[in-house]
């Protein structure tokens, strides 16, 4: 048996956790640069706010319905997610963190699953304050179905018997099935297949002929045959990227240098946390394709490194060299991307006998940076090239405090 634990309206719930006055109030969370809606509370959905709606187009609705607006705060979301996943891991040794707000649990051998599901849910809510829903079923696809159904049944739903599965699939929209993309959903609905039960009733020969292997596995899982195992060990990462849109378009080379240095430093920190080194670094500049009257350009460069590295100084130097090679005057840029590929574990790094590697002292400096920033907060100590004021950073007019990841933002109780 599999369980899927899904946090309800996760981003909105994270903000409500520290500002409970917004419980019961419509809440939306905006994307980078406060561009569009990426999360909505149930109350905001009831107000007709669509996912992906541009912020500037819904100002009237926000004022009319008194909707609370928050800028995205991924540091906070990541920390709260880790707390939720840690609590879930207490209930079974088989855990697959599927996304920031979803987690599959293996429950084979457990008895009284409905009561156990309630215990899991109540424990997570009590310990973290984040509401979750639990769906339990013989396969992962059916667990997804059970999870969505659970939101209408006090947060826990178990699909154990054939009749329970049949009842759940009878009116379950086929487009909501896990693994059905927009293209296949359109094809099925056009052919009169509108529910999961109708899809499951199709002959396996038709599914094999008209859908990919993913569709075949999903069809088998709807019949209770487990085809998608838990991934309790994450696949090794093949690449990493740091990229965020600027708060304003800029062609100022000094600002682009600051942004590139900052992104390269963040990338280096990510690599060290994962204990990986990169052998190839790429830098790319992007203009805003939605501004029709501006010149468009997307220059990029890929730089093979002499040695696999993850220290901040070497990666900033390489990224700035790449920026200098691709920078074009006369363009206003919206974003810079710094990518690391060809990743290998830092324990498997082999030096090049034909080059004198001088990065060992830079590795020591990077470790000092990590320790100090972990102790006193991210960004406490950084490279001078990253700049002080950073006027190019994202626009976040509705940003709330960090609460759990910065000592200065911890709530004080008198």
Do 137 and 116 sit in the same domain of this protein?
yes
Residue 106 lies in a domain: yes
Do 138 and 270 sit in the same domain of this protein?
no
Residue 402 lies in a domain: no
Do 252 and 224 sit in the same domain of this protein?
no
The mean pLDDT value for 149-176 works out to 89
Instruction: Record the pTM.
Output: 0.81
Residue 16 lies in a domain: no
Domain-ending residue, one of 235, 270, 293 = 235
Domain-ending residue, one of 189, 210, 235 = 235
Dump pLDDT digits (tens) for 316-350: 999 999 999 999 998 899 889 999 998 988 888 77
pLDDT at 358 over 80: no
Do 191 and 244 sit in the same domain of this protein?
no
Do 193 and 102 sit in the same domain of this protein?
yes
Rounded to whole angstroms, how far apart are CA atoms 386 and 257?
Answer: 8
Rounded to whole angstroms, how far apart are CA atoms 68 and 61?
Answer: 11
Do 373 and 256 sit in the same domain of this protein?
yes
| Cβ-based burial of 289 (10 A; exposed 0-12, middle 13-18, buried ≥19) | exposed
Coil/strand/helix, residue 403: coil
Residue 376 lies in a domain: yes
Instruction: Considering only CA atoms, give the Rg of the chain.
Output: 24
CATH, residue 146: 3.30.70.270
pLDDT at 285 over 70: yes
Cα dihedral: 46, 47, 48, 53 (round 10): -120
Rounded to the nearest integer, the mean pLDDT of the chain is 88
The mean pLDDT value for 14-32 works out to 92
CATH, residue 355: 3.30.1490.100
pLDDT at 357 over 90: no
Do 199 and 273 sit in the same domain of this protein?
no
Do 301 and 370 sit in the same domain of this protein?
yes
Residues 6 or more apart from 49 whose CB is under 8 A from it? 26, 28, 37, 40, 58, 61, 67
Dump pLDDT digits (tens) for 196-209: 899 899 899 888 88
pLDDT at 252 over 70: yes
Rounded to whole angstroms, how far apart are CA atoms 15 and 68?
Answer: 10
Is residue 30 within 8 Å of residue 37, measured between CB atoms? yes
| pLDDT band at residue 359 under the 50/70/90 scheme | low
The reported pLDDT for the residue numbered 15 is: 94
Cα angle at 228 between 226 and 232, to 5 degrees? 120
| Number of separate domains in the chain | 2
pLDDT at 355 over 70: no
Percent of the chain with pLDDT over 70: 98
Do 126 and 210 sit in the same domain of this protein?
yes
Structural domain boundaries enclosing 142: 1-8+74-235
């Amino acid at each position: 048996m599999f369980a899927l634990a899904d946090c309800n309206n996760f981003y909105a719930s994270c903000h409500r956790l520290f500002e409970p006055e917004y419980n019961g109030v419509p809440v939306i969370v905006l994307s980078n640069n406060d561009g569009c809606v990426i999360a909505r509370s149930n109350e905001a959905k009831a107000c007709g706010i669509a996912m992906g709606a541009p912020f500037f187009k819904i100002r009237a609705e926000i004022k009319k319905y008194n909707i609370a607006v928050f800028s995205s705060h991924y540091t906070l979301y990541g920390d709260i997610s880790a707390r939720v996943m840690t609590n879930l891991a207490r209930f079974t040794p088989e855990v697959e963190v599927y996304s920031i707000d979803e987690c599959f649990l293996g429950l084979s051998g457990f008895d009284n699953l409905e009561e156990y599901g309630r215990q899991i849910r109540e424990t997570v809510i009590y310990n973290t304050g984040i509401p979750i829903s639990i769906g339990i079923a013989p396969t992962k696809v059916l667990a997804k179905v059970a999870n969505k159904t659970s939101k209408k049944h006090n947060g826990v739903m178990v699909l154990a018997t054939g009749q329970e599965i049949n009842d759940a699939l009878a009116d379950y929209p086929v487009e909501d099935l896990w693994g059905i993309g927009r293209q296949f959903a359109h094809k099925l609905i056009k052919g009169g297949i509108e529910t999961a039960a109708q899809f499951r009733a199709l002959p396996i020969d038709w599914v094999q002929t008209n859908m990919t292997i993913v569709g075949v596995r999903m069809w088998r899982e709807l019949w209770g045959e487990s085809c998608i195992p838990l991934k309790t060990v994450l696949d090794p990462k093949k690449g990493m990227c740091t990229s965020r849109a600027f708060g304003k378009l800029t062609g100022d080379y000094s600002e682009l240098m600051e942004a590139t240095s900052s992104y390269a430093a963040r990338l280096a920190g990510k690599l060290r946390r994962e204990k990986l080194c990169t052998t190839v670094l790429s830098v790319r500049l992007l203009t805003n394709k939605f501004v029709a009257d501006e010149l468009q350009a997307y220059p990029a460069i890929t730089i093979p490194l002499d040695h696999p590295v993850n220290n901040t100084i070497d990666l900033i130097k390489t990224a700035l060299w790449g920026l200098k090679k691709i920078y074009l005057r006369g363009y206003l840029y919206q974003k810079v991307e710094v990518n690391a590929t060809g990743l290998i574990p830092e324990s498997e790094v082999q030096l090049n006998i034909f080059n004198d590697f001088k990065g060992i002292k830079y590795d020591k400096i990077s470790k000092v940076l990590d320790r100090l920033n972990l102790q006193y907060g991210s960004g406490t100590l950084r490279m001078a090239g990253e700049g002080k004021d950073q006027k190019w950073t994202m626009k976040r007019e509705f940003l709330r405090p960090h609460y759990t990841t910065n000592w200065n933002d911890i709530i004080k109780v008198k």
